[in-house]
Structure 1
Amino acid sequence: MTGPDGAPEDAVVKGGSSIEPWLREILRCPACRSELVDAVGPEGGPELLCTGAECGRAYRIEDGIPVLLVDEARAGAPGPA
C-alpha cells in the first residue's frame, strides 16, 4: 500500500514526511552532528528538528527530501541534551 504522497505506507512518518526509516536513522544535524527527530513546522509542513542542547535548528522537508542546509534552517529552541 502507499501513503497519501505515493510513498510506501511504511515510509510515511509523523508530520507527513516520506523519508525511509533507515535513512532517518543515519541523518544528523549538519551544524552540530546531533540526532534529528520528526517535527511539524509552524506552517504545518514536515521538518527535522535537531536535538542538540545548544542548536535546535529545524530543517524543512520538501517532497520527501530533507533540506539540510544550515543557512536555510529555521532557528528553534535548543533540544534536550
Structure 2
Amino acid sequence: MPPLVEPSLLEILACPNCHSPLREDTEASELVCTDQSCGLAYPVRDHIPVLLIDEARKVG
C-alpha cells in the first residue's frame, strides 16, 4: 500500500496539540500522534493531512 503522505513530509510534520512526531495508520487513513498521553489521530484526505485539532479524534 502506498504511503498516505510523502516520507519526507512525514519527517517534518508534528502533532499540533503536543508537537510530538506523527506515524501513519494506512488502514484508517490517519496520522496518529506518537505521544500516548495525547493520542490524537488526524485524517488524511486526498493525500493531504488535515492537522486541525478540531478535526482529530482521540485514539483508544
Under TM normalisation by the shorter chain, which class is it?
Answer: 0.7 to 0.9
Higher RCO structure (Cα 8 Å, ≥6 apart): 2
Greater Cα radius of gyration, structure 1 or 2: 1
- CA deviation string 1:18-68 (max 9, x = no partner): x11110111000000011001132xxxx11000113100000000000000
- What does residue 39 of structure 2 align with? 56
- What does residue 76 of structure 1 align with? 59
TM-score normalized by the length of structure 1: 0.67
Q: Distance in 2 between matches of 1:66 and 1:29?
A: 11
Amino acid corresponding to residue 22 of structure 2 in structure 1: L
> Normalized per residue, which structure has more strand?
2
- Tell me the C-alpha RMSD between the 2 structures: 1.5
Q: Distance in 1 between matches of 2:36 and 2:47?
A: 26
- Gap runs ≥5 in structure 1: 4-11
The equivalent position to 1:31 in structure 2, one of 17, 33, 37, is 17
- What does residue 8 of structure 1 align with? none
